Amino acid sequence: MLRHHLVLPVSTGDLLIDPLPPITEREVLLSLVIPTYQERHNIAEIIQLLTLELDRSLPNDYELIVVDDDSPDRTWEVARDLYPQYPHLRVLRRTHERGLATAVVRGWQSATGQILGVIDADLQHPPAVLGKLWEAIASGADLAIASRNVEGGGVSEWSLLRRCLSRGAQLLGLLLLPETIGRVTDPMSGYFLLRRATIAGKVLSPIGYKILIEVIGRGDIGKIVEVGYEFQERQAGSSKVTARQYLEYIQHLLRLRMARSGRFLRFVAVGLSGLVVDMSLLYLLTDASTLALPLALGKLVAGESAIINNFLWNDRWTFADLVRTQTSRRQKFRRFLKFNLICLLGLTLSITLLNLIYNFVIRDRYIANFIAIVSVTLCNYWLNLKLSWRSTDSSAPPKIRT
């Protein structure tokens, strides 16, 4: 068991969780992060309770990672002084960043477990629930969440205002990110376990407190299990939640919304630039007042020019994050061929649709062309995402054994 005697430095740069080191170097199965700010009066008790709980269910196969944001009450020092009693404890002291959600991710970056987790330090999340969360993961869940809103769940003496704010935040989330927030009953939970593989290799960028919506919004999360728990009253210290956290939550929702639909919006923007190229060349080549070439020939030249325009933009902008590991000329040319093939199929479909609509539905070539282009754009997006820009790099990171 590698012993960490010091308060450890924290990684900087992208919030990117690496896939596990080869299994031989791995230290533990579960890495549980405990984010702290001003928790000197709670930290010894939570470490003791977690150790009792995990020594029972995961003896010698877990680590507790305290991530303290340089608390003025020197929580990190109190935690570090616990090292002699707790061999599974590691303490990280952040001096260059602040914030609950990023603290959790920085803790996961230094974790060596295949299962990652987070629990608050202030004893409001009962450690006894860990056993049920672990059972859910062991039975195949990707994500096991302690929820206040399922059977056996609840909040202690929360004021009506705090209850309304929490529920209001959840409603707003359902409006902006239904496919994320709608998957769970307690998206605000800060107490859960997840398989590392679901977020490994993804650049996370949470804001504020809500690490769970970041995990569900950006991770490859399959089965989710929720376990009811009673949110406890704080024994010492106070909640750090202020109006700022609510604003950061809205910012976080908008950032995730853009990330999840941003790619499609970029693809549509590129498609629009291709529309301009296509339409302009169609006019220049086939209109009676210009070259008056046959419609199909003009469409072929206009269409291929638009395809080249769209590939260059999509490769550099829409799918740029997916080509980071595929930069060779050969890989780029392969992407162009696949893109071209998919778009030529789309062009054939588009010419067929154009002629069908023009001859049987609307006797206006430009409206018919527009309908044809929109219909083909949707299937082009899906096919290109799945085939042209998926990672074809054979050196992709090895699959993590579960």
Instruction: State the nearest-atom distance from the C-beta of 2 to Mn ion, in Å.
Output: 31
User: Backbone dihedral region of 235: left (phi > 0), alpha (psi from -120 to 50 degrees) or beta?
Assistant: alpha
Taking Cα atoms as reference points, which of 201, 104, 264 lies closest to residue 400? 201
Instruction: State the nearest-atom distance from the C-beta of 166 to ligand GDD, in Å.
Output: 8
Binding flag, residue 192, ligand GDD (CB under 6 A): no
* Angstrom distances, CA of residue 309 to CA of 269, 274, 316, 332, 351: 12, 6, 11, 15, 19
User: What does 100 bind: ligand GDD, Mn ion, none (CB cut-off 5 to 8 Å by kind)?
Assistant: ligand GDD
Taking Cα atoms as reference points, which of 169, 308, 151 lies closest to residue 245? 169
Nearest-angstrom CA–CA distance, 192 and 118: 6
Instruction: State the nearest-atom distance from the C-beta of 402 to ligand GDD, in Å.
Output: 26
- Location of structure tokens 């629009």: 272
> Tokens at residue 61, please?
């196969």
One residue of 31, 38, 71, 124 binding Mn ion per CB under 5 A: 124
One residue of 28, 103, 111, 307 binding ligand GDD per CB under 6 A: 103
One residue of 113, 127, 153, 190 binding ligand GDD per CB under 6 A: 190
- Selected range binding Mn ion among 8-16, 122-130, 131-139, 326-334, rule: CB under 5 A: 122-130
Of 348-387, binders to ligand GDD (CB under 6 A) are: none
- Location of structure tokens 């959600």: 101
One residue of 150, 241, 385, 400 binding ligand GDD per CB under 6 A: 241
- Selected range binding ligand GDD among 23-31, 36-44, 136-144, 303-311, rule: CB under 6 A: 36-44
Nearest-angstrom CA–CA distance, 191 and 74: 24
Please spell the DSSP secondary structure of 211-270, one letter per residue.
HHHHHHHHS----EEEEE-EEPPPSSS-----HHHHHHHHHHHHHHHHHHHHHHHHHHHH
* Angstrom distances, CA of residue 353 to CA of 33, 80, 356, 369, 395: 56, 69, 5, 8, 41
One residue of 20, 35, 200, 219 binding ligand GDD per CB under 6 A: 35
One residue of 39, 53, 68, 122 binding Mn ion per CB under 5 A: 122
- Nearest CB to Mn ion, comparing residues 232 and 305: 232
- Nearest CB to ligand GDD, comparing residues 153 and 271: 153
Residues found near ligand GDD in the complex (CB under 6 A): 35-37, 39, 67-69, 98-100, 103, 120-122, 124, 188-191, 209, 231, 239-241
